[in-house]
């Protein structure tokens, strides 16, 4: 269980994805993007727009059930990406590196980029924007919703 939570808003996610795209512009153009589902879908869409990349592929790997980590299971392969040559892999986060290791084996020649990275997994990605501590659980905008909170004075 995480000891810290870090909430990312839609606006912040968009800013961080665009910042990652700026960083990736310095590299040779990519043939296509492989989004790791589900977390990489929205960052991949933003980055694909910014890089004007039209070929989008997905790889589906199930690793988490809520906050509980399990054994990775590939449910969809990225057929169009071959060994990854010329492709950019996008995910929202690299945590322990469990998913990243599986994807690296599938696409060893791709450039791997994430918005956020934790210490245990950051060596597995080529580019990222923000590092967070290993004991932090990131709450992405698709995992949360705004709701009423009682004023502090009512919590007596």
Residues with catalytic annotation? 91-92, 95
- CB of 37 within 8 A of CB of 60? yes
Please list, in sequence order, all residues whose beta carbon lies within 8 angstroms of the beta carbon of residue 110, skipping any fewer than 6 positions away: 34, 81, 83, 84, 85, 87, 88, 89
Q: Is the dihedral of CA 145, 9, 97, 85 positive or negative?
A: positive
């Amino acid at each position: 269980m995480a000891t810290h939570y870090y909430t990312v808003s839609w606006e912040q996610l968009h800013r961080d994805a665009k910042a990652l795209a700026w960083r990736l512009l310095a590299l040779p153009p990519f043939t296509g993007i492989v989004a790791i589902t589900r977390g990489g879908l929205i960052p991949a869409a933003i980055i694909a727009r910014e890089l004007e990349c039209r070929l989008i592929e997905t790889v589906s790997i199930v690793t988490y059930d809520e906050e509980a980590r399990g054994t990775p299971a590939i449910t969809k392969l990225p057929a169009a990406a071959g060994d990854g040559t010329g492709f950019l892999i996008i995910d929202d986060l690299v945590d322990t590196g469990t998913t990243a290791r599986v994807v690296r084996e599938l696409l060893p020649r791709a450039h791997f980029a994430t918005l956020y990275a934790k210490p245990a997994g950051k060596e597995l990605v080529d580019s990222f924007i923000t590092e967070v501590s290993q004991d932090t659980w990131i709450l992405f905008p698709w995992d949360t919703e705004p709701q009423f909170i009682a004023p502090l004075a009512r919590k007596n």
